[in-house]
């Protein structure tokens, strides 16, 4: 009697283990099938939006002319120019406009140019005028 119960218990345990291994194999097959597809990753919570990726900041070192161009497909934005930490120029521009200034007129030093749209910094560059 004990032998029959013990053998029945062994058969039940073997069946449970084979079911578990079958589930593991099934999930591995599912994972390999998932790997075949190209899923887009979930966006990060603090994702930075590239509103105006085509805004161009150009600086000519010989003439010290700074040019910021907002193409017609952009949303526009604000250009701020700082020399050694002090704001020397700033303008809010619409799409399709160009902001240009000669940095040597403000003096020599380190210049930071920040282009933003609202509270989002779109681009920033550093230049040295000697």
Domain boundaries, the chain: 1-39, 56-129
pLDDT tens for residues 13-23? 766 655 544 44
77-83 sheet: strands from edge to edge: 86-93, 77-83, 109-117, 120-129
pLDDT of 49 strictly over 50:
yes
Cα 39 from chain centroid? 18
Q: Could you tell me the pTM of the whole model? A: 0.59
Residue 82's CB: how many other CB atoms inside 10 A? 19
Give the CATH fold of the 56-129 domain. Answer: Immunoglobulin-like (2.60.40)
Residue 65's CB: how many other CB atoms inside 10 A? 14
């Amino acid at each position: 009697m004990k032998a029959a119960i013990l053998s029945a218990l062994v058969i039940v345990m073997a069946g449970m283990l084979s079911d578990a291994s079958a589930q593991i194999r099934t999930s591995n097959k599912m994972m390999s099938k998932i790997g075949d597809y190209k899923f887009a990753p979930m966006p990060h919570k603090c994702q930075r939006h590239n509103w105006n990726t085509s805004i161009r900041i150009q600086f000519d070192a010989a003439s010290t002319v700074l040019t910021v161009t907002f193409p017609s497909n952009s949303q526009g934005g604000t250009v701020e120019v700082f020399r050694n930490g002090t704001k020397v120029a700033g303008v809010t521009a619409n799409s399709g406009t160009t902001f240009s200034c000669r940095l040597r007129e403000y003096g020599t030093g380190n210049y930071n140019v920040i282009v933003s749209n609202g509270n989002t910094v779109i681009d920033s560059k550093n230049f040295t005028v000697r």
